[in-house]
Amino acid sequence: MPDQNLDNLRHSAAHLLAAAVMELYPKALRTIGPAIENGFYYDFDNLKISEADFPAIEAKMHQLSPTWKSFERIETAPEDAKKKFSDNPYKLELINEFTDQPITIYKSGSFEDLCRGGHIDLVSQSLNHFKLLSIAGAYWRGDEKNKMLTRIYGTIFPTKDELDKYLWQQEEAKKRDHRKIGIQLGLWTFSDYVGGGLPLFTPKGALIRQLINEFVEELQSKQDITQVWTPQIAKAELFKISGHYDKYRENLFSVRSNYSNEEFFLKPMNCPQHTQIYASQSRSYRDLPIRLADFAMLYRDEKPGELIGLTRTRSFSQDDCHIFCRPDQVEEEMNKALDMTKQIMETYGFKYKYRLSLHDPQHPEKYLGDAETWAKSEKLSEKILEDRGMEYFPGVGEAAFYAPKLDLIATDSLGREWQLSTLQIDFFMPQRFGLSYIDEKGQKQTPVMLHRAISGSPERLMAILIEHYAGAFPTWLAPIQVVVLPISDKHLDYAKKVEAELKSQNIRVELNDKSEPLNARVRDAEMQKISYILVVGDRESEAKSVSVRRHSSKESQSLSLSQFSSSISEEISSRTSTTTTTTTTPNV
């Protein structure tokens, strides 16, 4: 079913939900019920229910659905619409916004609702495979000054198989929630004294974060990309020139000096400061491209209610790189970045496509620069994708305020999509900062600035990888790669020799000699999702071997210590693993 039809199906289901609620709770007040990604919702006032009431509401929806033959469009004058909805102040508010044009009402069965349209045709045959999901509070029209309403979320699909698969996916996602697994594995914590959205990484979490960055650094160093380091704050004037002060100010943290009246901001991105490194000396066309990478921390003022674990925080870093180049170098540099992205995504096991994020010509006030330059950068971005044969789709209105973007959309092991890497061709910021180089004719020219982040934020990527791998990281990323379990105290000396040998090979190993039964220590290792469990007893001590068990496997095998050490070292260095990123889906 095309997306438009799916949206219509979901919007139609919102009508059905409202009709069922009004029959069961006639004193409730309807407001609005749109289709959204993966489902629909409807907001109600004067409705006090819980998820325990969902079965009754769903039953009523199933009862009503066969009686709905169509969505009948009724066009009426605003005054007549006001009479029909005279007892509902929310509908009256909406009607008052369209006093100079006809109002449309849609009727199915005996249920009528104020609506602009967008429904399915075969109603009774289609409104069948739905499920109510959750309840949340929502302010009327998203304004915190308005009354809090009761929002009921639901989903619907054309077939039962699709619905079952989606519901399975949601349940599996709950099990993999990075907020739960991250705490279980001891990777980070939050503190009310530090503040919301400001994660504190433990040694284990900091190690994973470091490994993610080192992978990027290993690859980009081969492309003559050099690291720089820039301050966490900058004067307001820097962001006024870059455009962030006008276009992005609501997300900036302000900082005040005790000794001057200067206005500073915590930096939300690295690009404005990188322009100043470029501008610090004269440049020739022979010097370009100049590639500056920066792993510095960034800060953005997010609303408290929008903070979500590591996927939306107030402090984070980026594997940022800004490339200053000549126009004739743009495609080559973009392709190098795309090659690097491909290698990293394949290593993590992500399938992906690109969103070509374009500016919205209907709202030029949101962007810097002129329409002609926007058309030029967007056409060039599209050409690069097409020349590579990349799968992509347009995203009008998704551009940064200064440039279109090639946004990588990764699909994880549950089929969910995440935006990770981004590449941008920016003609405006170099102009605004007056950047230049001298060409082969001795003339001053303006460079092009390419913005590139491969993993995006390593902290956010860590959260996505936790859910992608269900917490069982590939061995190269696992904070503890091996645990050694002596069967009894008499095997402790050999266990220590195994530990020492593996540490000498730079393998992250722990020895668990707690006075607990072996089965309990094995369960603990499984809970910590340690890649390999090595059990040593009489036989292993005598043969200088180890009994090897892979995480989540019930099978074990006997290997000499040297065999195991060689095997795991190869697995780590090649960044491969027997860890699977796929999950068995239900029989649908």
DSSP reduced 3-state for 534: strand
Closest C-alpha to 251, from 307, 302, 198: 302
**Structure confidence at residue 4 as a pLDDT band (50, 70, 90):** low
Active site residues: 271, 300, 318, 320, 322, 405, 451
Same domain, yes or no: 81 and 55: yes
Domain limit, last residue, from 439, 469, 499: 469
Closest C-alpha to 115, from 1, 6, 19, 39: 19
Which residue range forms the structural domain that includes residue 380? 182-229+270-469
Same domain, yes or no: 363 and 286: yes
| Residue 242 forms part of a structural domain | no
Strand partners of residue 40: 35, 154
Amino acid identity, residue 527? Answer: M
DSSP reduced 3-state for 584: coil
- 150-159, 470-479, 552-561: range with lowest mean pLDDT: 552-561
**Structure confidence at residue 457 as a pLDDT band (50, 70, 90):** very high
Same domain, yes or no: 187 and 280: yes
498 token code pair: 């195994």
* Integer Cα distance of 110 and 67 in angstroms: 9
Residues 6+ away with beta carbon under 8 Å from 574? none
Same domain, yes or no: 367 and 455: yes
| Residue 459 forms part of a structural domain | yes
Same domain, yes or no: 463 and 522: no
Taking only the tens place, the pLDDT of each residue in 512-533 is 999 999 999 999 999 999 999 9
Closest C-alpha to 381, from 400, 406, 402, 399: 406
Same domain, yes or no: 439 and 528: no
Strand partners of residue 322: 292, 451
**Structure confidence at residue 144 as a pLDDT band (50, 70, 90):** confident
Q: Is the pLDDT of residue 378 over 90?
A: yes
Same domain, yes or no: 426 and 517: no
Taking only the tens place, the pLDDT of each residue in 19-62 is 999 999 999 999 999 999 889 999 999 999 999 999 999 999 99
Torsion of CA 351, 353, 357, 358, to 10 degrees: 180
| Residue 477 forms part of a structural domain | no
* Integer Cα distance of 165 and 69 in angstroms: 28
Domain count, the chain: 3
Give one DSSP letter per residue of 39-76, joined into a string: EEEEEEES----GGGHHHHHHHHHHHGGG----EEEEE
| Residue 132 forms part of a structural domain | yes
529: left (phi over 0), alpha (psi -120 to 50) or beta: left
Return the DSSP state at 281: S
Taking only the tens place, the pLDDT of each residue in 110-141 is 999 999 888 988 887 889 999 999 999 999 99
End-to-end CA distance of the chain: 18
Domain limit, last residue, from 435, 469, 503: 469
* Integer Cα distance of 76 and 78 in angstroms: 6
Please work out, in degrees rounded to the nearest 5, the angle formed at the alpha carbon of residue 273 by the alpha carbons of 269 and 276.
Answer: 155
Residue with tokens 């967008």: 118
We report the CATH number of the domain holding residue 449 as: 3.30.930.10
Per-residue pLDDT, 1: 36
Task: Give long-range contacts, CB 8 A cutoff, 24+ apart: 3-6.
Answer: 5/120, 6/35, 6/158
Same domain, yes or no: 501 and 455: no
* Integer Cα distance of 43 and 91 in angstroms: 12
**Structure confidence at residue 577 as a pLDDT band (50, 70, 90):** low
Same domain, yes or no: 293 and 353: yes
Peptide bond into 289 cis (omega under 30): yes
**Structure confidence at residue 299 as a pLDDT band (50, 70, 90):** very high
Q: Is the pLDDT of residue 584 over 70?
A: no
**Structure confidence at residue 580 as a pLDDT band (50, 70, 90):** very low
Strand partners of residue 547: 535, 558
Same domain, yes or no: 404 and 537: no
User: What would the mean pLDDT of 466-480 be, rounded to a whole number?
Assistant: 96
Q: Count Cβ neighbours within 10 Å for each residue of 255-284 and write b for 16 or more, e otherwise.
A: beeeeeeeebbbbbbbbbbbbeebeeeebe
Task: Determine whether the annotation assigns residue 322 to a binding site.
Answer: yes
Taking only the tens place, the pLDDT of each residue in 493-506 is 999 999 999 999 99
Taking only the tens place, the pLDDT of each residue in 528-545 is 999 999 999 999 999 999
Average pLDDT, the chain: 93
Per-residue pLDDT, 88: 95
575 token code pair: 């960044």
501 token code pair: 């040998």
- Count how many Cα atoms sit within 13 Å of the Cα of residue 81 in the half-sphere of its side chain: 27
| Residue 166 forms part of a structural domain | no
Closest C-alpha to 448, from 360, 364, 339, 331: 331
| Residue 257 forms part of a structural domain | no
| Residue 212 forms part of a structural domain | yes
103 token code pair: 């109002």
Return the DSSP state at 253: P
Same domain, yes or no: 382 and 522: no
Taking only the tens place, the pLDDT of each residue in 242-280 is 999 988 889 999 998 888 888 999 999 999 999 999 999
Same domain, yes or no: 199 and 101: no
Per-residue pLDDT, 5: 86
Question: pTM score, two decimals?
Answer: 0.84
Domain limit, last residue, from 436, 469, 502: 469
**Structure confidence at residue 568 as a pLDDT band (50, 70, 90):** very high
We report the CATH number of the domain holding residue 93 as: 3.30.980.10
Taking only the tens place, the pLDDT of each residue in 384-413 is 999 999 999 999 999 999 999 999 999 998
Q: Is the pLDDT of residue 305 over 90?
A: no
Per-residue pLDDT, 181: 95
Asked whether 71 and 118 are in contact (CB, 8 A), the reply is no
We report the CATH number of the domain holding residue 541 as: 3.40.50.800
Task: Determine whether the annotation assigns residue 451 to a binding site.
Answer: yes
| Residue 176 forms part of a structural domain | no
Closest C-alpha to 503, from 525, 484, 489: 484
* Integer Cα distance of 266 and 184 in angstroms: 32
192 token code pair: 């009310």
Task: Determine whether the annotation assigns residue 359 to a binding site.
Answer: no
